[in-house]
Structure 1
Amino acid sequence: MKKIGFWSVLAFLSVTLTGCGASPAGTLDRSGIWGSFVGLISDGIDYFAKLVHDYGISILIVTLIIRIIIFPLMYKQLKHSKIMQELQPEMAKIREKYKNDPQKMQQEMVKLFQAKGTNPLAGCFPVLVQLPILMALYQAIMFNAHIKTAKFLGLVTLGVPEHFVLPVLAALTTYIQTRMTMMNPNDPQQKMMLYIMPAMIFFFAFTFPAALSLYWVFGNILTIIQYYFLKRPQKAATQGGPAK
């Protein structure tokens, strides 16, 4: 599975699944289990907004709480990405050595993964578990009526698109996050996605309400921070000293 960045995948699914859980009137339908779950998150956003008097900050707080809850899964996913990055030189050697013998190539790849205690699909399960939770957060923002007229820091109206700062930040943080988590920087397909995904995110952020742009930016920043600290021990070990 070629990794193009978890939040980029989430953004794409968000676009295609926005209608799930919505009533014909475009409001949240709480009659089912999914609607109740999304409603609970929406109520959480309302609760923190009353405490801090800012729906933008409330979205950041709820996003942070959810990311803390799913941190073990995020950690496994990012750790798997780091391991796969480390294995790329050895995988390239195997591909070159057995390029005329696909069966032997596959056997050697399996041996390599077993020796490292991982497999190419190890990063998929955490993603699949996280998606429903993060999709619920996305929809809680989309269908919260109070957010439509609220402002972030008194400057940005959350219910309408913001056409400069947030789209640029969303695209930039998507680029950084995708670059950091690329399994093989030399893969032409991954290089292409490195530029396509930020462009897509910029378009979504330019088109969708600013509340969602804020959510994407903050989520990307959290992933970047997590991955930075995950790679830091490896960088220190390579330089021959402890992380400071």
Structure 2
Amino acid sequence: MNKKNYKKYVGIFMLLGLVLILTGCSNLNEPITSQSSGFWDHIVLYNFSRFILWLSSLVGNQYGWGIIFFTIIIRMILLPLNWFQIRSMNKQMKVQPEIQALQKKYSAKDQETQQKLREETQKLYSEAGVNPVAGCLPLLIQLPVMFALYQAIYKTAELRNGSFLWMQLGKPDPYYIMAVLAALFTFLSTYMSSYSQPTQNSTTKIMAYVMPIFIFIPALTFPSAITLYWVISNFFQVIQTLVFQNPFKYRREQREKEEREKERQRQIRKAKKRAHKK
């Protein structure tokens, strides 16, 4: 890993560590009020709680709808960042053939060759305007939001004791429907993102099936409000991928492009044969 990427990853882990420390300092048994102290409770959790309650008041104090609206607003705020991520991914897909050529050129496993491969890969990414870390940014922002939502629910009596459809928001879904939907939409969003890549390595394929499991298992015991957030967030991600990337259209265009290239090569070979006969 080069120095630049190393610093980025260190920054990401430091930010996540700070969030974990702040959430750990919050007492779940202490209700949120305007008098709550500390940055996390007074600034983050209190405002999250008030905002969700306000959104709920617009639809007759339906707290589930308040969480749904809250989730959509968060995803809309993240749209510019997601667009930046998608552009970076598209650029990365375009240079994939060149990356594969570099991997063949520097296929030896010794340290010097692998270092050269990393340097050439980073140079290629830099020239193409690719940021390999861009895919982490939306997730990096959503994790603190999820932590804050989790604690805001427990520390706000209206949300903790509120109900929506068949669920009590502060308790797990008794029928596991939200857990199944959260896993399903996670799979669809992950699969569609990987489907748009021209070449899928084993890690990419595995992640498409592992990520839903990572969501499904905790969703069985998490409050319904959290799984509701996951369902809406990942459903939004599926729609966003279809609109901005449309992996199925991309794959079709790639196949058509390959067919045109094959036809062009066939025509060249035929022309060479005719020229040779003459």
Identify the TM-score tier after normalising by the shorter chain: 0.7 to 0.9
TM-score (norm 1): 0.78
Q: Which is further off, 211-220 or 31-40?
A: 31-40
Q: What is the CA distance between 1:196 and its match in structure 2?
A: 2.0
Letter in 2 for 1:206: L
Aligned residues: 226
Report 1:67-146 matches (<5 A): 67-100=75-108, 101-125=113-137, 127-146=139-158
Q: Who wins on radius of gyration, i.e. which is larger?
A: 2
Structure 1 residue 57: deviation in Å?
Answer: 0.7
Corresponding residue of 1:161:
172
Q: How many Å apart are 1:216 and its aligned residue?
A: 0.3
Distance 2:82 2:192 in 1: 14
- RMSD of aligned C-alpha atoms? 3.1
Identify the range of structure 1 (19-28 vs 215-224) with the bigger mean alpha-carbon deviation: 19-28
**Other-structure match for 1:203:** 217
Q: Which runs of 4+ in 1 moved over 6 A?
A: none
User: Secondary structure of the residue that 2:208 maps to in structure 1?
Assistant: helix
Change (3 A) 1:207 1:67: same
TM-score by length of 2: 0.69
> Unaligned 5+ residue runs, structure 1?
2-12
Aligned to 2:55: 48
Seen in structure 2, the aligned counterparts of structure 1 residues 51 and 33 have a Cα distance that, compared at 3 Å, is same
Letter in 2 for 1:35: D
Separation in 1 of the partners of 2:82 and 2:217? 26
Which among 224, 229, 236 is matched to residue 222 of structure 1?
236
Q: Distance in 2 between matches of 1:122 and 1:80?
A: 7
Asked if the contact 2:32/2:46 (under 8 Å) is kept, the reply is: yes
Note closer, same or farther for the CA distance 1:52–1:189 as it changes in structure 2 (3 Å cut): same
Q: CA offsets, 1:102-155, max 9 Å, x none?
A: 2332233123212321132233445445543453334323433212222213x2
Identity of aligned residues (%): 37
Correspondent of 2:193 among 181, 184, 188: 181
Which structure would you say has the larger RCO, counting Cα contacts within 8 Å and 6 or more residues apart? 1
Residue number among 226, 234, 238 corresponding to 2:253 in the alignment:
238
Higher mean C-alpha displacement, 77-86 vs 166-175: 77-86
Contact 1:175-1:198 at 8 Å conserved across structures: yes
* C-alpha contact (below 8 Å) 1:142/1:212 kept by paired residues: no
